[in-house]
Amino acid sequence: TVAVFGAGGVGLSIIMAAQLAGAGQIIAVDKAAAKAQIARDCGATAFLTPGPGLIEEIRARSGGRGADYVFEAIGIPAVQEQCLAAVRPGGLVVLVGVSAMGSATNLPGAILTRQEKTVTGSYYGSANTARDFPRFLELYRRGRLDLDRLVSQTYRLHEINQAYADMLAGANARGVILFD
């Protein structure tokens, strides 16, 4: 079971990667319920919105233990703490969202130690471009990695202010500005 907190462009990419890796259950979590369909289109098997009972729902969907892998693609310390609660004992939390400089996340050492949970960071997917990009291109060419699905809105250059406002509002999975 994989849980992905954040269904923007990065989170949706994680969902697609989890599906490619053969994850049986992929739970997407995002405050924008409008992202449910695109998350499912990218491979999520469930979509949850944050609120009371979120962690319990993730545990219920993973046999009562928590997700094996939890990815945080938002960069908010409180969400990072939720991710630690959502991962099973012995599981892995990957922090992908970039937090503001100077922010702090409360990761209780006793829980990490006693439940043997692991927390790690990943910057740009820890990609090795010489190795990984040709593989991604081949997966795209074979139709196994549908990158076009990530683009939920296109804008002309004169619409750049609207594109920026939509990005800040979380209105799109991924907006792309077209240069004519």
Predicted confidence band of residue 170 (pLDDT cuts 50, 70, 90): confident
Say how many domains are in the chain. Answer: 2
Residue 167: pLDDT over 90: no
Contacts of 52 (CB under 8 A, 6+ apart): none
Query: Which residue is associated with the tokens 């289109």?
Result: 41
C-alpha distance across the termini of the chain, in Å: 43
Read off the pLDDT of residues 117-163 as tens digits, 9 standing for 90 and up: 999 999 888 889 899 999 999 999 999 998 888 888 999 999 999 99
Read off the pLDDT of residues 33-90 as tens digits, 9 standing for 90 and up: 989 999 999 999 999 999 999 999 999 999 999 999 999 999 999 999 999 999 999 9
Domain boundary among 126, 143, 169: 126
Instruction: Please indicate, yes or no, whether residues 80 and 153 belong to a single structural domain of this protein.
Output: no
The CATH number of residue 117's host domain is 3.40.50.720
Instruction: Please indicate, yes or no, whether residues 91 and 40 belong to a single structural domain of this protein.
Output: yes
Question: Is the distance from CB of 1 to CB of 28 less than 8 angstroms?
Answer: no
Instruction: Please indicate, yes or no, whether residues 100 and 16 belong to a single structural domain of this protein.
Output: yes
Q: Strand 2-5 to strand 67-72: parallel, antiparallel, or no bridges (unpaired)?
A: parallel
Instruction: Give counts: helices (H), strands (E), the chain.
Output: 7, 8
Domain that holds residue 81: 2-126
State the Cα–Cα distance between residues 175 and 34, nearest whole angstrom. 15
Instruction: Please indicate, yes or no, whether residues 109 and 96 belong to a single structural domain of this protein.
Output: yes
- pLDDT attached to residue 16: 96
Instruction: Please indicate, yes or no, whether residues 61 and 142 belong to a single structural domain of this protein.
Output: no
State the Cα–Cα distance between residues 127 and 145, nearest whole angstrom. 16
Q: Which of 110, 132, 107 is nearest to 120 (CA)?
A: 107
Q: Stretch 27-32: mean pLDDT, rounded? A: 96
Residue 100: pLDDT over 90: no
Q: Stretch 18-46: mean pLDDT, rounded? A: 95
Predicted confidence band of residue 104 (pLDDT cuts 50, 70, 90): confident
**Spatial strand order in the sheet of 2-5:** 46-48, 26-29, 2-5, 67-72, 87-95, 118-121
Instruction: Please indicate, yes or no, whether residues 84 and 136 belong to a single structural domain of this protein.
Output: no
